[in-house]
A and B are shown apart, each in its own frame.
Chain A
Amino acid sequence: MKFRITYTTEYRYSEPVRDNLNVLRVKPATTKTQAVDDFALRVAPETRLHQYRDYFGSEVVELGVTEPHERLDIEARMHVTTSEPEPAPAGSWEAVASRGYRTEGGEHLLQTEMSPPGGALDGLLDAVRAATPAESLARVSEEIPDRFEYRSGSTFVGSTVSDLLEGGAGVCQDFVHLGLMLLRELGVASRYVSGYLFAAPEDGGPDSVEVQTHAWLEALVPDADSGPRWVGVDPTNRKLVGETHVKIGHGRNYQDVAPIRGVYRGPATSEHTAAVQMRRLNDNGA
């Protein structure tokens, strides 16, 4: 599929601020199933941009506005082409325990949060245990939306898995963190993915109803015949990742791939809005 994506973010400050530094992770990755046709970033007030690839391979843009300003507007426009990924391989749990798998999985095997105390996770763990890792992955993508309500405002960017379990509701970021914890507990290497989701509207129009960046997870699934592969699954939308998911990058958790981080100087308070516009184009790019 072909998409045109526009990511915009606006900051408004109660009084002029200066030395406003921001770090953005909004440019899609280039993978086997995804290619970036073009990407352009505009900033007002105008300033120099610096780009580099971080440890996890995500494309990063750094910018800073020195002189005093009361608003900062950033707009990223991009064209992306995606293709359908291969189905999840059918490797076994023995393979997950093997040395080769553990080396490949590396740091993504490690938990990034303390487990909730008192065995609060036990019921869920039992529910997602299955005959093969791929099946567990599928179950994770079902159990979580079954048991938790998708509701924004009940959690915030620093919420933990315990908060989600207690509150019973959260957003995609929380669902993914829970999924990561479950899979890692089972010994499956998994990583947090940030990206854009094309959610088709009911009337079949070209514009996605999803107007924020989205989060899902990738798990390392062993293959009987060849090396293990990373397979994406979306626990918010109960499905495997496909052509409608455009990946920006991955990390151990949200902090590693946050779309935007900023620091400014000044006593002002700030208001921040971000929005995504994603339009499906037909195959000749219109």
Chain B
Amino acid sequence: MLARIAHELYWIGRYVARADDTARMLDGLFRASLQAPGGPGTARLPWETVMTALGARPDPDEAPVSASEAVRSLTLDADSPASVTACVARARDGAKRVRDVVSREMWQTLNTLYLELDTSDLGSALRTGPYSVYAFVRERCALWWGLADETMLRDQAYAFLAAGRHAEGASMMLRMLRVSIVPSLALVDESGSSAEGPAPALLQAIGGLEAFRRSVPGPADAYPVAKFLLFEPTYPHSVAAALELVHGRLRDADPSYRTAAPLLRLARLRAELEFHRGGPPQDGGEGLASLLEHVQRELSEADAEIERRYFSGAAAQPHVVTA
């Protein structure tokens, strides 16, 4: 298929996933922020941390960010790379350019989402009740993916769309893990168990609390939560599961997958994760922290390789360079 189209689809997948994940996180975090921090085991995720994780670094010299500011910025700010409305706009923009490839219903879903957000008075909705905004966004995104599953051929178009979705998921999860859990991993006591820190708050924010409880019998301490979100193959949003899906979809799309650089890198990364899954906890959580850093680096490399291999054939905007 056309490199340009593949490129668009990949990024639509990324942006829709980003909008969805951000909306879910903001809903959970906003709700937690209405209430007091509570007793032990209810440490909150500070808004600065979340904004940093989502690429919207607040000025470290300024006063602490309030909930309403963070919510407004991460929902409405057109310049912020993760803001919900910005992501929806970009996804819709991309979808316009591939209208012949996605189904009519898919286009309508995304377009309706964009128009609703564009014409509503989101500012006041965010003040009186952001829940309904986020619920709407998430419903539409779920509908988008459901329709993709129902109406698209399992061809290269589908593969790149899905690859983008899962690549974004893995990246987002890694970022959240690194900013919120790593410090708590350092607080390992004699029995080898870690402090809780904001691990439960993180689970709440990403919507994995019930899945975690079903899967892991013990309390939501930093170490078990980090392991769950990094390795657990049965949890579809874990890094390992997401990477598996990216690899799988790219393999579907690439006839020469056996020698394709990004696929080789992803395969090696999956094997590394598999290898570390059963390993014993390392002292001070350093092992896990450095593993997270390593995985993120590898993922960035894989991103670049994906761009190079599949999309660089796309004619970019003309740009004059004087040599």
Q: In the complex, is A directly touching B at CB under 8 Å?
A: no
B contact set with A: CB distance below 8 Å: none
